[in-house]
Amino acid sequence: MTSAPLPRILRRRGEPEYPTFLELFFDLVYIFLLSRLSASLGESLTVRNAAQTAVLLLAAWWVWVLTAWLTDLFNPRLPIIQATVLLVMLGTLLMAIATPYAFGRYGWLFVAAYFGIHLVRDAVLIPGTRVNRPIQARSIRVFFWFGITVTPWVAGVFVDETARLVLWSLAVAVDLGSARFGWPTPGLGRTELASQIFTGVHLSERHRAIFIVALGELILSTGTGLAGSGFTAGQVTASAVAFVSAVLLFQLYFQRVQRILAPPSVTTVERVRSGTSTSYTHLVMVAGVVLVSTGTSMVIARPSGHTPVDVMVAILGGPVLFLFGSVLFDAVVTARILWSRVLAIVLLAVVLLCALVAPSTFRLPPLTVLVVANLVLLLTLAGEGLAARRRRAEVTAPAR
């Protein structure tokens, strides 16, 4: 993959593949961005607002993914790459500032920051790789597809909210979809994503880091909600249960990651080939944590009384989305279905369905709904732990 004319800009074989401090510093801006998304969604739990939040999250996620891929392929210790990452971080901060008003008066700021990020990155990478055509072609392909989506992104700034949602949904779908197929470009072909464009360890660590950031936002919203409350018994209890939600999500994610990535059967090649797919599955899990944050914030604000349908959807939908993303991740890495989490999804869906079909019978207060969601997560975690210990016992048991 590397060539003699480019000994510095590319990440060399054998170099440490773990994220640098700069990459972890870059991730910090996403705590702010995710908190803005969560708060905006909590202000209006409508289908329209959920769709708008999803579009903004997809755009922000795409910036993070391309930055992770940037430092995966190119040397993150090189000053020009470090400067690029810092400029991308600044642009992401501007996107976060514009997020609550992106479908209003600050749509232009969101789009300007989004494309400013991509222009800065490509302005560095395309000239910097000119002596190595195969590497340069990758950056040109990405730039070509952003040239296509710039039209709906910019056009959306000048229309009303409904038309803006349609145009931006199309644009972000093309942004992510074109990558899935290797950015096919006239005259340049497409990038083979199963090639050595990715290193397994580095991207795996980057995905873990961004999930920790999402949990950090959940902790932040929990603390902020309690600090701004009246410290009633119900609100303090709700905050404690919300904290338990964060702990359960943490355990469900990292215990499973350790089990499926630790065995030698999961080779580096397999991790490389699933690089793009694991990014998409982590997007689903992070979206689930953002929705959990929205739900827990609403529970802390109002832990008692009847739970409206939209609030119940947020409380139960967050864990469902997280579990669904973890099932997809497991399927990508191991080619197997994690049935314990499928069962948990079904249980949460049944609770939600019962509340929708018979609201007079299932008049549960928000805090109770949150406790039910946590119980399902706890049972799933305990069941998987017992199953793992049983398998280890069977492996280590002496043959009779």
For residue 52, pLDDT over 80 is answered with yes
Give the Å distances, CA to CA, from 327 to 19, 129, 291, 334: 26, 38, 18, 10
- Which comes out higher in pLDDT, residue 275 or 347? 347
Instruction: Report the share of the chain in percent with pLDDT over 70.
Output: 88
What mean pLDDT is reported for the chain? Answer: 87
Most confident among 3-7, 263-267, 299-303 (mean pLDDT): 299-303
pTM for the model stands at 0.90
What tens digit of pLDDT does each residue of 287-328 get?
A: 999 999 999 999 999 999 888 888 999 999 999 999 999 999
What tens digit of pLDDT does each residue of 91-116 get?
A: 999 999 999 999 999 999 999 999 99
For residue 126, pLDDT over 60 is answered with yes
* pLDDT on residue 7: 43
The dihedral built from the CA positions of residue 54, 55, 57 and 62, taken in this order, carries a sign that is positive
Determine the Cα–Cα distance for residues 380 and 327; give it in Å rounded to an integer: 13
* pLDDT on residue 194: 53
Determine the Cα–Cα distance for residues 39 and 58; give it in Å rounded to an integer: 17
* pLDDT on residue 86: 96
Of 9-23, 49-63, 183-197, 245-259, the least confident: 183-197
Determine the Cα–Cα distance for residues 341 and 330; give it in Å rounded to an integer: 10
Mean pLDDT value of segment 106-128:
91
Determine the Cα–Cα distance for residues 23 and 30; give it in Å rounded to an integer: 12
For residue 399, pLDDT over 70 is answered with no
Q: How confident is the model at residue 387 (pLDDT cuts 50, 70, 90)?
A: confident
Mean pLDDT value of segment 195-216:
81
Q: Which amino acid is at 399?
A: A
For residue 272, pLDDT over 90 is answered with no
Q: How confident is the model at residue 258 (pLDDT cuts 50, 70, 90)?
A: confident
- Which comes out higher in pLDDT, residue 176 or 192? 176
* pLDDT on residue 274: 52
DSSP state letter for 182: T
Residues 6+ apart with CB under 8 A from 49: 40, 41, 43
* pLDDT on residue 392: 76
Most confident among 12-26, 27-41, 201-215 (mean pLDDT): 27-41
Determine the Cα–Cα distance for residues 6 and 132; give it in Å rounded to an integer: 7
- The label of the residue with tokens 């793992």 reads 388
Dump the DSSP string for 60-109. Answer: HHHHHHHHHHHHHHB-TTSHHHHHHHHHHHHHHHHHHHHGGGTTTTTHHH
Vertex 107 angle, CA 106 and 108, to 5°? 90
* Contact between 332 and 274 (Cβ < 8 Å): yes
* Closest to 286 in 3D by CA, of 107, 88, 73, 68: 68
Q: How confident is the model at residue 117 (pLDDT cuts 50, 70, 90)?
A: very high
For residue 269, pLDDT over 80 is answered with no
For residue 32, pLDDT over 80 is answered with yes
Q: How is residue 357 written in tokens?
A: 């079909």
Mean pLDDT value of segment 63-82:
89
Most confident among 12-26, 232-246, 353-367 (mean pLDDT): 232-246
Vertex 233 angle, CA 228 and 236, to 5°? 50
Of 41-55, 98-112, 139-153, 254-268, the least confident: 254-268
DSSP state letter for 303: -
Give the Å distances, CA to CA, from 363 to 42, 151, 304, 371: 21, 48, 11, 14
* pLDDT on residue 199: 53
Q: How confident is the model at residue 5 (pLDDT cuts 50, 70, 90)?
A: very low
